[in-house]
Structure 1
Amino acid sequence: MSQLSQPDLALYRAVDEVLHYLWDPIGVASVPEARDEYHGYLPHVFGMLKNGSAEDELAEYLGGVATNRMGLSARPDHDRAIARHLLNWKAALSDQQGQ
């Protein structure tokens, strides 16, 4: 993470917050000891955003993680909302940085 530029670091941190507090498929957002629960997915989601992935691609990845890796029920509307939120963060941070 120390090799990231300031704009990329801001996006990385935003992705971390969104995954933990909003996506939170297993419901651990209020558990301080579980703050790193979704860190394993963070680099991939960040990379998808940096590479210009669309909302559908992001939602599909998040849904696949929750259903295929965690064994949870599909929540496509939630996954799409989270993907949209991630893209909004990316756009807002880009606007702030004049990119």
Structure 2
Amino acid sequence: MGQKPGDTELELYQRVDEVLYYVWDPIGVAPNPATRDEYQRYLPKVFSMLQEGAGASPIAAYLDNVATERMGLNGNPEHSKRVAEFLLDWKTELYRIR
């Protein structure tokens, strides 16, 4: 049986969701509240990568792959890397204050 996530994990999960929607937002839907769940299908994978200790490069590669392979967009590796670094900063901050 799985463990119940702690407060820090739940907060990180929420932050990942927010970062994917408001910061990563490869198709530019963030201004529309009706699209709030647009990137939630990628949330578990990104969260898992963070929990497993992945660095910025693999997270950025995953995000860029999603944008190019699943969404058919042009890649933006620099943006994906900034988003990955931002996610890692959140993780560091949340675990530092607990």
* Bucket of the pairwise TM-score, normalised by the shorter protein: over 0.9
Which residue is equivalent to 1:89?
90
Amino acid at match of 2:82: A
Q: What does the per-residue CA deviation read over 1:52-89, in whole Å, with 9 as the maximum and x for residues that have no partner? A: 00110000000000000000001000000000000000
Which blocks of at least 5 consecutive residues in structure 1 are unaligned?
A: none
2:22 alignment partner in structure 1: 21
Structure 2 length normalisation: TM-score?
0.95
Cα distance between partner residues in 1 of 2:44 and 2:5: 12
Q: What's the % identity of the aligned pairs?
A: 49
Task: Measure the CA separation in 2 of the matches of 1:88 and 1:28.
Answer: 24
Matched position secondary structure for 1:30: coil
Matched length: 95
Corresponding residue for residue 34 of structure 1: 35
In structure 2, list runs of 5 or more residues that go unmatched: none
| 2:94 aligned with 1:71 | no
Q: How far does residue 5 in structure 1 lie from its aligned partner after superposition? A: 1.2
Residues in 1 aligned to 2:5 and 2:31: alpha-carbon distance in whole angstroms: 28
Q: Shift of residue 13 of structure 1?
A: 0.3
**Which amino acid in the other structure matches residue 86 of structure 1?**
L
- Aligned equivalents of 1:50 and 1:70: distance in 2? 25
Q: CA RMSD in A?
A: 0.6
Find the residue that maps to 2:61 and give its secondary structure: helix
Other-structure match for 2:46: 45
Equivalent-residue separation in structure 1 for 2:97 and 2:37 (angstroms): 27
After superposing on structure 2, the runs of 4+ consecutive aligned residues of structure 1 that deviate more than 3 Å are none
